[in-house]
A = this chain, B = another copy of it.
Amino acid sequence: MPVLRYDVTTNDWVIMAPERVRRLVEPERVIGAEGLPPGPEGLFPFCPRNEHRTTPDIHAVRPGGRATGPGWKVRVVPSKFPALRIEEDPSRQEEGPLFRSLGGCGAHEVIIESPAHNTFLGHQSIEQIELVLRVLQARFNDLMRDARFQMIVLFKNHGEGAGTSLRHPHWQLIATPVVPRQLRLRHAIATDYFDRTGHCLYCVLLQEELAAGKRVLAANDSYAAVLPYASHVPFETWIIPKIHQSSFGRVEGARLRPLAELLRTVLLKLHVGLDNPDFNLTVNTVPRGDEDREYFLWHIALLPRLTTPAGFERGSGMSINTVMPEDAADALRDVPIP
């Protein structure tokens, strides 16, 4: 059973999920276990015709109208090795004056982005990417109805170096019973800026980046892709809405199509330009209750893993970025994509 423990030296809650170790200690076996051994036709865990052997769907898009089995375009299942579980009790316990814990209550879902085992998201059709975004948003909003969840983190890991243990392309979603301290800090900084200036910090930052121009990779009417001035890692790329919106859950349906278009462009630029780099992608948004507040602008951060943070970064929290974002943007702009 997962549990959270409070770190009194940093004010972080740490998720303790010992069951997840099985996934890491014996990755091959577990890849087998999650999808079971590849079947006679080379089927893997998340492949169509293997549905009956994984956990039941939470949600699926099946144009044919079937309720189970193959024929789906996007499918959501609970994680088999959840970091947090919906059944746990989110109450605090004191185990000593400085030892505080909290039941590992939350949700951990896997969004299978395609029936195809080996397709990169950037190689999918715009329609399929839009469908993935629509399902992510539906799961986000559905889980936000559970008042025990304070925050939902949507993310995608691409490549083994980015922490993937299953190759079939998927996103993940973790709903947490607390707002992570790092996000609280970002929100507090943006709130302070809003209180001082009356503007959303991220909207102003986007205007500044668009005016400077040299770190803008691509844009359409609704979104811009920018390699931020103070990028923490080489080729870090943000996709930022041009119209203010605090929460990913509130993005209008009609704005998911241009988002899919720009996301596809960015993914392809990175894929071709950097030879299929490992990366993490996260959706940054506001916690429960702040959906109508103006201080924050939801956005996607795409974080390639081209370098390894080491002792300095872990000991200081500071990043060392070895590629100027202007140079990275220049290089990516020149990359021809299909």
Residues in A lying within 8 Å of B, measured CB to CB: 5-18, 20-21, 24, 83, 95-99, 151, 153-157, 161-164, 172, 174, 176, 180-183, 185-186, 189-190, 193, 201-202, 204-205, 208, 211-212, 228-232, 234, 280-284, 301, 303, 306-312, 314-324, 327
Contact = CB atoms under 8 A, between A and B. Distances in A.
Contacts of A21: 234, 322-323
Contact of A98 (B98, B157, B204): B204
A327 to B, nearest CB: 7
Contact of A83 (B7, B97, B156, B312): B312
B230 A182 contact: no
29 contacts: A5-B230, A7-B230, A8-B193, A9-B201, A10-B185, A12-B230, A12-B232, A12-B317, A14-B321, A15-B319, A18-B322, A18-B324, A18-B327, A24-B322, A83-B312, A96-B208, A96-B212, A97-B208, A98-B201, A98-B205, A98-B229, A99-B208, A151-B316, A153-B312, A154-B315, A162-B310, A182-B316, A283-B315, A284-B315
Contact of A320 (B83, B228, B322): B83
Nearest to A15: B320
B16 A321 contact: yes
Given A14-B230, A183-B316, A282-B314, 19 more contacts: A5-B230, A8-B193, A9-B202, A9-B205, A14-B232, A15-B318, A15-B319, A24-B306, A97-B208, A98-B229, A155-B314, A157-B310, A157-B311, A162-B311, A172-B311, A282-B311, A282-B315, A284-B315, A301-B315
